[in-house]
Each structure stands twice: as structure tokens, then as C-alpha cells.
């Protein structure tokens, strides 16, 4: 499990604090992982295997939450691809 590359960028930590916040309850309220039971439409999880901006463990966490709720989805992991892939 890798960490995002944003904190390693100049101003990255302050950007995350401004854009997303730091309050755990607020972050949890925004995360689809904690609201999988509310998903009522088909979804696809597409992720680059070497994404450093949004590490792949986020895709796995969402998949696990969907599995727990019995929600159908399609899964696409592209090996050798990062945050944007072709």
C-alpha cells in the first residue's frame, strides 16, 4: 500500500487540507466506502495499478465495501498505468 504523491509536492499538504479537509467525521461522510449501501446504480471501478495520486488500495476498499453490500460492479485494473491511463 503506497501513499498518495500529493503530500510530497510543494504545498501538497496544505492543498489537501483546503480541498478535502482534515476532520475525520467529515471525511468519512464524503467517502463512498462508508456509503456503499446507498449506491443504487451500476458502477465500474477503473484504476491504474501504479497510480500514486490515488493509491490502488482505495479501489480495493471500495470493492470490498460493495461486495459486503452485494452491490454489482465492474472491475478494471490497468497494469502499468497511473492516475490517467490510455
- pLDDT per position as a tens digit, 14-68: 777 788 788 889 989 999 999 999 999 989 999 999 988 888 999 999 999 999 9
**Domain assignment present for 85:** no
- Give the domain extent around 59: 6-78
**Domain assignment present for 18:** yes
Q: What is the pTM of this model?
A: 0.79
**Domain assignment present for 1:** no
* Cα angle 46, 49, 35; round to 5: 45
Q: How many domains does the chain have?
A: 1
Residue from 7, 13, 4, 6 nearest 57 by CA: 4
**Domain assignment present for 84:** no
**Domain assignment present for 48:** yes
* Angstrom distance (rounded) from CA 57 to CA 60: 5
**Domain assignment present for 67:** yes
Amino acid at each position: 500500500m503506497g501513499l498518495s504523491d500529493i503530500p510530497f509536492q510543494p504545498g501538497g499538504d496544505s492543498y489537501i487540507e483546503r480541498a478535502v479537509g482534515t476532520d475525520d467525521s467529515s471525511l468519512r461522510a464524503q467517502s463512498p466506502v462508508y456509503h456503499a449501501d446507498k449506491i443504487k446504480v451500476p458502477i465500474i471501478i477503473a484504476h491504474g495499478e501504479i497510480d500514486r495520486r490515488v493509491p490502488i488500495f482505495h479501489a480495493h476498499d471500495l470493492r470490498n465495501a460493495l461486495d459486503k453490500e452485494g452491490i454489482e460492479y465492474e472491475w478494471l485494473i490497468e497494469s502499468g498505468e497511473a492516475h490517467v491511463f490510455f
